Homo-oligomer: A and B are copies of this chain.
Amino acid sequence: MTHHSIDIRIYYEDTDAGGVVYHANYLNFGERGRTEFLRHIGHENSHLAREFGTIFVVKHIEIEYVRPAFLDDLLILSTRIEDMKNSSFKMRQTLTKDGGIISDMQVALVCVDANTLKPVRIPDVLRHAFQKFIV
């Protein structure tokens, strides 16, 4: 298996007066997906600094809006890793409804020292866990 999936249910909070999911909120879904991916491999955002002295920072996002999503929709967000370097990696996150693509997102993250915020090598235990989700 090379990806990790979660369900995203659409509530009023996610929609806008255009009757569709508001475009910025797809980035919230992405954050939830990355957080659950991390939890799936045994780690929590709130413990990373304590465990490793590092945190992940979002550096770049590219998102394609393919089809709108609507109130009460049940979507599937799949998350995988596309590339991993010394201190940075890219995640690819695809949101689908009934198999059809809603949005496609690429997120570049950097591993930084929790105190200095300078880029540092991704901790080995995370590198090995990530490896399994690289396409």
CB contact under 8 A between A28 and B13, given known A63-B60, A71-B46: yes
CB contact under 8 A between A16 and B15, given known A25-B24, A61-B63, A65-B58: yes
A17 at the interface (CB under 8 A from B): yes
A64 at the interface (CB under 8 A from B): yes
Number of copies: 4
Residues 25-54 of chain A, each 1 if its beta carbon lies under 8 Å from chain B, else 0: 101100110010000000011110000000
21 contacts between A and B (CB under 8 A): A9-B32, A11-B31, A11-B32, A11-B35, A12-B17, A12-B31, A12-B35, A16-B16, A16-B17, A17-B19, A17-B70, A17-B71, A18-B55, A19-B19, A24-B24, A24-B25, A24-B28, A35-B72, A59-B64, A60-B63, A61-B63
